[in-house]
Amino acid sequence: MIAGFQLTKEFIQFKNKVNSWEESIIEAAMPLLEKEYINKEYVEAMIDSVNKYGPYIIIAPQIALPHARPDRGAKKAGFSIMKLEEPVAFSHEEEHKVKLLIVLSCEDDSTHIEILQGIVEILSDEEKKKSILLAETAESVLEIFS
């Protein structure tokens, strides 16, 4: 459990590929949108941020952490995960190809920091990071995040 949020299978997706980085954010955010953790404005704000600031959401090789300001449509704290078989390019640079998107939803700044810390703690463990990138089932991802 990270910041009071219990990751479950409904928040984890596996896809072969997407057509664009924008589509990757939309698809990766879908579980949060469907469960009303965020609204459509939040999804648009995440895309707008990348358009404005570039691929700053790429926090490690192959891993992106799309998010937006809480006041842009976040309703509850949580996150969703989408793993792609084929990487999606956020720019023409090789280091901006992403296979794992973790979409954050935080209703305030302190929750944002708590969730971010929990995720970074997991991703800073090289074995766990490798396991997530190789995972083929929601159960295996849940095991890493539990």
Q: Kindly state the DSSP code that residue 136 receives in the 8-state scheme.
A: -
Is-catalytic flag, 92? Answer: no
Residue 26 neighbours by CB under 8 Å, 6+ apart: 43, 47
- Cβ-based neighbours of 134, under 8 Å, separated by 6 or more: none
Q: Which of 67, 92, 96, 112 is catalytic?
A: 67
Find out whether 13 and 80 touch, Cβ atoms under 8 Å.
yes
Q: Which residues are identified as catalytic?
A: 67
